[in-house]
């Protein structure tokens, strides 16, 4: 290394101490450049060792950031504490550079080490290179998010993180422009100066979510800096088959900002050109941060020295020329050549560094592996001791189980230990003795331990869980006002917006119109357009906008106009929102409330009740199905005071129905998982929810006239479902169960049966088989008759309940001479 003075880029002088990039005039000292280079080398070594470990069978799967190192060094230079990264599985270099990961943690995650102290990103739940910062502490309370760069939890569905990135950037706009947020910004924002850096592969940029997000951000004008890592391929499929004009920046050209107008800053830069990259990121990030304009940096000529991932070999699909190019355009190689050319360091010095750094990375890896294995070894030794003692005590030969465990491979897994202990215990069935009892205790506690290790944190475990919100009953004055259901909601949202400045409502037609059912009428004028905010028709990014904002401490209510259109956002709701807490082992939360409406109104796409689809995809989100707006408001009051995401599906046909309005409209809180008995009866338990509650109550009158006394239970929330197991009490009393559901046959009704019949033990109390009455399998045709003949009706409920009673007492209940055609 030679040192004296400065050089202008490309202008050779005798000075070699620092480099000033041409446009940005940032100065990089030789020391900094060398340190960058060494980090790139360490990162590459980590990629190579990672691949080796997977191929040797010591790690489950590997996907690495080799070939993407140098651009990430440049990006790291402009990231500041409080900024966010929301990206994908190629980003280990930037994570190492900004200090949000260490190599120890990188290897721990590679090995699927489930200790959160070692893999703080996912506690062994996610594949390698899936990062996250722990934005909440062990108690589930917010940490100071301004002390370091934060990372929105990475996941594998490519481009799925883009909608959330929109929200992470949007939060900066809210924190900068919304006066009411000043007092609550501490720990979350410094005047909205935070930039969200998002990264995406060239091929993932072909996904719809990318385009929807880009458009949303272009409209919103928020500080999102999108880097597209372009290595020419998406696994084996080249750019020609991925992108119009084979180039995302060419395809996006129409979004480019003209002068100071709206749009994007768009830059194209080569992935091996360290100086140009530093220059570009310095210029662009400064503009994004100061002016809150979005930008796209298209980084081309990136490489994949080891191919896509450990599941294949790129020699199979890349041409010879491309493979040669990948060697020649290797960013580390080019950076090194440039450093030598510029006399920043000579080859021998760099060789020394490289040797030293590579061996250090290998040592870190080795230690990470040993640390990962050590507690499992301890459990194995314990198990072997217990098995030996139990064999001795019982005289039963347990050598096979013990030997299998002794021979269990590299790595040793908890599974192998558990299986051996369990099989030994199974072989001792019918035996008694303290050693056997101790082995049984080990199996039980070990199972519980692994239950926590792998299956905890689906939902909040904090003191702010919605399940811990103290229920407050609605209060009705002596002469309660009776108003339209929509006004009950309006007053509820108004009260909550007034109470908590962090609450924002976003969606289609929510602002100027005040919702298609006028639920927010006048609220935008009162609370401002930043808090009741109209969006384009883009359900996925409406939800993503909410998720990102929630990650930054805000309380978004995401408005999806009809439940039928939630499908557009369902991938995200399922993959991102529902898994967030679990996949970060309790490290992140996004308490988004999704408000939508469904059940019956008109036609195929305004009558949906696709509960089974939601139950199957949204574990990790509470699902509330209130029967009226007073109930809905009570759920909103609970959810907006707690820390889990939730979906509330209002009854579409209920906005104009009159309801009594509680005097504590913004303050009463309904508990989740607590059904309500709507009608007492002795013959048949009818379990239902939502719009069907009213119809079931009407049918109950007809049934009473026919001498059948039904009990009606409104489950109120499907997730969680009757946490106190109260419904079985009703079944015990009546001996008969009829589940009435607007979902299709075998849909939510099957879930409800599983809960009551199996989980609550309802089977033991039935004297007649359980029944379901559901909608037909087809969608609902338009018009009164289409609705009537495809969804459960008052008369259908009559027939279904009557059939149950007739089955029990044919003498008392003569045939109706008709049966439901199901
Ligand atoms: C939605 C989705 N579809 C398919 C995949 C499988 N897959 C994983 S990576 C990948 C290629 C991504 O290519 P690109 O975006 O260019 O990123 P690169 O891996 O090249 O950096 C594919 C198809 C996935 N993870 N997610
Ligand atoms: Mg690619």
Distances (CA, A) of 817 to 10, 477, 707, 736, 802: 94, 49, 18, 22, 12
Mean pLDDT of 503-518: 98
pLDDT over threshold 80, residue 12: no
Which residue in the block uniquely carries the two structure tokens 């004009």?
A: 245
What is the per-residue pLDDT across 341-376, written as a single tens digit (0 to 9) for each?
Answer: 999 999 999 999 999 999 999 999 999 999 999 999
Ligand 1 pocket check for 203: Cβ under 6 Å: yes
pLDDT over threshold 50, residue 796: yes
Mean pLDDT of 697-722: 98
CA of 80 to the centre of ligand 1 (A): 28
Ligand 1 pocket check for 571: Cβ under 6 Å: no
Mean pLDDT of 672-685: 98
**Per-residue model confidence (pLDDT) at position 33:** 96
Residue ID of nearest Cα to ligand 1 atom 17: 201
DSSP 8-state class, residue 118: T
CA of 458 to the centre of ligand 1 (A): 26
CA of 310 to the centre of ligand 1 (A): 13
* Rounded Cα gap, residues 521 and 484, in angstroms: 13
DSSP helix/strand/coil, 478: coil
pLDDT band at 22 (very low <50, low <70, confident <90, very high): confident
Q: Assign residue 355 a region (left: φ > 0; alpha: ψ between -120 and 50; beta: otherwise).
A: alpha
**Per-residue model confidence (pLDDT) at position 77:** 97
What is the per-residue pLDDT across 554-563, written as a single tens digit (0 to 9) for each?
Answer: 999 999 999 9
* Rounded Cα gap, residues 491 and 474, in angstroms: 14
Ligand 1 atom closest to the CA of 207, numbered from 1: 1
Residue 787 token pair: 């609705």
Q: Residue 524: phi, psi to the nearest 5?
A: -65, -40
Reference 338, options 762, 651, 7, 63; nearest CA is 7
Ligand 1 pocket check for 234: Cβ under 6 Å: yes
> Which among 235, 302, 576 is the best mutation to test ligand 1's pocket, defined by most ligand atoms within 8 Å of the CB?
235
DSSP 8-state class, residue 576: I
Mean pLDDT of 684-708: 98
Which residue in the block uniquely carries the two structure tokens 């103290």?
A: 470
**Per-residue model confidence (pLDDT) at position 26:** 81
> Which among 47, 61, 204 is the best mutation to test ligand 1's pocket, defined by most ligand atoms within 8 Å of the CB?
204
Ligand 1 atom closest to the CA of 68, numbered from 1: 21
Residue 610 token pair: 């696709």
Ligand lying closest to the C-alpha of residue 205: 1
**Per-residue model confidence (pLDDT) at position 606:** 82
Ligand 1 pocket check for 231: Cβ under 6 Å: yes
Ligand 1 atom closest to the CA of 202, numbered from 1: 16
Look at 602 and 50; give whichever has higher pLDDT: 50
CA of 92 to the centre of ligand 1 (A): 17
Ligand 1 pocket check for 202: Cβ under 6 Å: yes
Burial 130-148 (b: 16+ CB within 10 A, else e): bbbbbbbeeebeeeebbeb
Percent of the chain with pLDDT over 90: 94
CA of 255 to the centre of ligand 2 (A): 22
Residue ID of nearest Cα to ligand 1 atom 20: 234
Ligand lying closest to the C-alpha of residue 230: 2
Reference 30, options 65, 55, 5; nearest CA is 5
* Rounded Cα gap, residues 413 and 425, in angstroms: 19
Lowest mean pLDDT among 80-89, 310-319, 674-683: 310-319
**Average pLDDT, rounded, for the chain:** 95
| Active site annotation includes 298 | no
Residue ID of nearest Cα to ligand 1 atom 8: 158
**Per-residue model confidence (pLDDT) at position 15:** 45
Ligand 1 atom closest to the CA of 160, numbered from 1: 1
CA of 212 to the centre of ligand 2 (A): 20
> Which among 66, 161, 203 is the best mutation to test ligand 1's pocket, defined by most ligand atoms within 8 Å of the CB?
203
Ligand 1 atom closest to the CA of 156, numbered from 1: 25
pLDDT band at 599 (very low <50, low <70, confident <90, very high): confident
CA of 60 to the centre of ligand 1 (A): 18
Ligand 1 pocket check for 90: Cβ under 6 Å: yes
End-to-end CA distance of the chain: 83
What is the per-residue pLDDT across 380-420, written as a single tens digit (0 to 9) for each?
Answer: 999 999 999 999 999 999 999 999 999 998 999 999 999 99
Lowest mean pLDDT among 615-629, 709-723, 772-786: 772-786
DSSP helix/strand/coil, 7: strand
pLDDT band at 13 (very low <50, low <70, confident <90, very high): very low
Mean pLDDT of 143-154: 98
- Output Rg (C-alpha) for the chain, integer angstroms: 31
CA of 154 to the centre of ligand 1 (A): 13
pLDDT over threshold 80, residue 742: yes
Ligand 1 pocket check for 235: Cβ under 6 Å: yes
pLDDT band at 822 (very low <50, low <70, confident <90, very high): low
Ligand 1 pocket check for 156: Cβ under 6 Å: yes
Residue ID of nearest Cα to ligand 1 atom 11: 234
Ligand 1 atom closest to the CA of 200, numbered from 1: 15
CA of 303 to the centre of ligand 2 (A): 9
Reference 302, options 357, 239, 226, 242; nearest CA is 239
Ligand 1 atom closest to the CA of 235, numbered from 1: 11
Q: Write down the catalytic residue from 606, 622, 725, 765.
A: 606
**Per-residue model confidence (pLDDT) at position 640:** 98
Q: Residue 484: phi, psi to the nearest 5?
A: -60, 145
Ligand 1 atom closest to the CA of 309, numbered from 1: 19
Ligand 1 pocket check for 157: Cβ under 6 Å: yes
Residue 483 token pair: 């108003």
Ligand 1 pocket check for 318: Cβ under 6 Å: no
pLDDT over threshold 60, residue 5: no
CA of 269 to the centre of ligand 2 (A): 15
Mean pLDDT of 236-264: 94
Ligand 1 pocket check for 158: Cβ under 6 Å: yes
Ligand lying closest to the C-alpha of residue 210: 1
Reference 472, options 632, 637, 623; nearest CA is 637
What is the per-residue pLDDT across 443-481, written as a single tens digit (0 to 9) for each?
Answer: 999 999 999 999 999 999 999 999 999 999 999 999 999
Ligand 1 atom closest to the CA of 205, numbered from 1: 15
pLDDT over threshold 50, residue 169: yes
> Which among 47, 62, 234, 307 is the best mutation to test ligand 1's pocket, defined by most ligand atoms within 8 Å of the CB?
234
DSSP helix/strand/coil, 67: coil
Lowest mean pLDDT among 16-25, 566-575, 611-620: 16-25
pLDDT over threshold 50, residue 10: no
Look at 14 and 107; give whichever has higher pLDDT: 107
Q: Quick count: other Cβ atoms within 10 Å of Cβ 642? A: 21
Reference 697, options 717, 675, 726, 677; nearest CA is 677
Ligand lying closest to the C-alpha of residue 203: 1
CA of 819 to the centre of ligand 1 (A): 52
Ligand 1 pocket check for 201: Cβ under 6 Å: yes
pLDDT over threshold 80, residue 809: yes
């Amino acid at each position: 290394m030679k040192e004296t003075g400065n050089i202008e880029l490309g202008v050779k002088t005798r000075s070699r101490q620092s480099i000033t990039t041409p446009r940005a005039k940032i100065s990089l000292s030789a020391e900094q450049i060398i340190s960058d280079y060494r980090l790139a080398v360490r990162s590459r070594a980590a990629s190579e060792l990672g691949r080796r470990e997977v191929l040797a069978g010591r790690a489950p799967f590997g996907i690495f950031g080799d070939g993407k190192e140098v651009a990430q060094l440049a990006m790291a230079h402009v990231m500041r504490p409080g900024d966010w990264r929301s990206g994908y599985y190629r980003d280990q270099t930037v994570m190492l550079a900004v200090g949000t990961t260490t190599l120890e943690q990188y290897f721990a995650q590679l090995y699927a080490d489930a200790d959160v102290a070692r893999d703080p990103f996912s506690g062994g739940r996610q594949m390698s290179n899936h990062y996250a910062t722990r934005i909440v502490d062990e108690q589930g309370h917010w940490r100071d998010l301004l002390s370091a760069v934060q990372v929105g939890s990475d996941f594998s569905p490519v481009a799925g993180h883009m909608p959330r990135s929109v929200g992470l950037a949007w939060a900066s706009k809210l924190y900068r422009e919304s006066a009411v947020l000043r007092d609550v910004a501490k720990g979350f924002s410094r005047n909205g100066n935070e930039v969200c850096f998002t990264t995406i592969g060239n091929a993932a940029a072909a996904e719809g979510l990318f385009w929807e997000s880009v458009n949303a951000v272009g409209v919103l004008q928020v500080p999102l800096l999108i880097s597209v890592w372009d290595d020419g391929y998406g696994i084996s499929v080249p750019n020609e088959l991925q992108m119009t004009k084979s180039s995302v920046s060419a395809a996006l050209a129409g979004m480019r900002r003209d002068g100071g107008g709206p749009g994007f800053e768009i830059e194209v830069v080569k992935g091996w050109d360290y100086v140009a990259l530093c220059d570009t990121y310095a210029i662009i990030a400064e503009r994004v941060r100061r002016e809150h304009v979005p930008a796209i940096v298209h980084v081309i000529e990136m490489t994949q020295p080891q191919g896509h991932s450990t599941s294949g070999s790129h020699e199979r699909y890349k041409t010879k020329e491309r493979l040669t190019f990948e060697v020649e355009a290797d960013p580390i190689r080019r950076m090194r050549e440039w450093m030598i050319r510029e006399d920043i360091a000579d080859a021998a010095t760099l060789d020394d560094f490289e040797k030293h750094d590579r061996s250090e990375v290998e040592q870190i890896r080795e230690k990470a592996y040993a640390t990962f294995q050590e507690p499992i070894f301890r459990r194995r030794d314990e198990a072997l001791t217990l098995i030996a003692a139990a064999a001795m005590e019982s005289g039963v030969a347990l050598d096979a189980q013990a030997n299998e465990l002794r021979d269990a491979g590299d790595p040793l897994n908890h599974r192998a230990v558990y299986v051996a202990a369990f099989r030994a215990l199974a072989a001792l069935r019918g035996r008694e003795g303290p050693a056997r009892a101790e082995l049984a205790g080990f199996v039980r506690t070990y199972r519980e331990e692994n239950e926590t290790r792998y299956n905890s944190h689906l939902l909040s475990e904090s003191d702010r869980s919605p399940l811990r919100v103290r229920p407050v009953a609605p209060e009705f004055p002596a002469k309660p006002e009776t108003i339209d259901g929509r006004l009950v909601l309006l007053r509820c949202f108004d009260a909550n917006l007034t109470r908590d400045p962090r609450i924002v409502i976003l969606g289609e037609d929510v602002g100027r119109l005040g919702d298609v059912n006028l639920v927010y009428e006048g609220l935008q004028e009162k609370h401002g357009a930043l808090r009741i905010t109209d969006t384009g028709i883009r359900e996925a990014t409406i939800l993503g906008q909410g998720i990102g904002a929630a990650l930054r401490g805000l309380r978004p209510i995401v408005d999806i106009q009809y439940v039928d259109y939630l499908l557009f956002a369902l991938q995200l709701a399922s993959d991102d929102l529902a898994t967030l807490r679990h996949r970060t082992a309790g490290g992140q939360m996004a308490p988004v409330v999704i408000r939508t409406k469904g059940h019956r109104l008109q036609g195929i796409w305004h009558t949906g009740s696709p509960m089974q689809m939601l139950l199957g995809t949204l574990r990790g989100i509470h699902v509330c199905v209130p029967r009226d707006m007073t109930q809905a408001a009570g759920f909103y009051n609970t959810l907006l005071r707690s820390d889990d995401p939730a979906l509330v599906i209002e009854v579409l046909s209920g906005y104009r129905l009159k309801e009594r309005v509680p005097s504590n409209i913004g303050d009463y809180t309904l508990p989740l998982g607590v059904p309500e008995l709507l009608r007492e009866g002795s013959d048949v338990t009818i379990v239902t929810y939502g719009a069907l509650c009213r119809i079931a109550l009407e049918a109950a009158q007809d049934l009473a006239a026919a001498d059948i006394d039904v009990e009606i239970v409104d489950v109120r929330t499907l997730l969680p479902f009757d946490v106190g197991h109260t419904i079985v009490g009703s079944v015990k009393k009546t001996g008969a169960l009829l589940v009435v559901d607007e979902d299709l046959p075998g849909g939510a009704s099957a879930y409800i049966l599983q809960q009551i019949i199996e989980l609550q033990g309802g089977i033991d109390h039935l004297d007649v088989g359980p029944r379901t009455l559901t909608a037909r399998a087809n969608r609902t045709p338009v018009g009164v008759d289409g609705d009537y003949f495809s969804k459960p009706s008052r008369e259908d409920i009559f027939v279904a309940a009557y059939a149950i009673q007739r089955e029990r007492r044919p003498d008392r209940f003569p045939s109706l001479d008709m049966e439901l055609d199901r």
